[in-house]
Amino acid sequence: MPTLKVTVGERDRLDQRTRSRIKAAQEGEDLDDAQPVLNFGSYAELSRLLSPKNLELLEAISEHEPESIREAAELVDRDYKQVHRNLSELDDIGVIEFEGGGAGQAKKPKLTYDGLEIDIPFAKSNGDIGAAAP
């Protein structure tokens, strides 16, 4: 599994990188080194991913590979509904994915990446990014 690069407020730089990679691909260059990137518009959005409860869930999934959302909730000693909501949010942004979940089947949470690489350049910080929630 690759590592997911997480950035904040980098949309313009990522758009330029994408254009450069498209040009390189058109010129026949090998692009196997592509690292997936998840960009958040604000520090507040990033803080939701990096909340202690989400990090605890990600760690529990990595270590114990639970067979269901219920089992994941038991591993972190939290309410099923809260864990379901957190895992659904992590699924929405592509950090985890669910296996199964058909009629009568439990949804098994699985990590999509083997880690997160956080890239927050402070040199270009400005008021457009937003403050993190406490």
Residue type for position 19: R
Tokens of 1: 């599994």
- Residue 83 binned pLDDT confidence (cut-offs 50, 70, 90): very high
Q: 120-129, pLDDT tens digit by residue? A: 777 654 545 4
CA distance 88 to 29: 37
Q: Which residue has the higher pLDDT, 133 or 9?
A: 9
Q: Which residue has the higher pLDDT, 3 or 77?
A: 77
Q: What is the pTM of this model?
A: 0.70
The pLDDT mean for the chain works out to 80
User: 38 and 4 in contact (C-beta within 8 Å)?
Assistant: yes
3-state SS string for 69-131? HHHHHHHCCCCHHHHHHHHHHHHHCCCEEEEECCCCCCEEEEECCCEEEEECCCCCCCCCCCC
Q: Which residue has the higher pLDDT, 86 or 38?
A: 86
User: 111 and 64 in contact (C-beta within 8 Å)?
Assistant: no
Q: 31-57, pLDDT tens digit by residue? A: 555 677 788 888 888 888 889 999 999
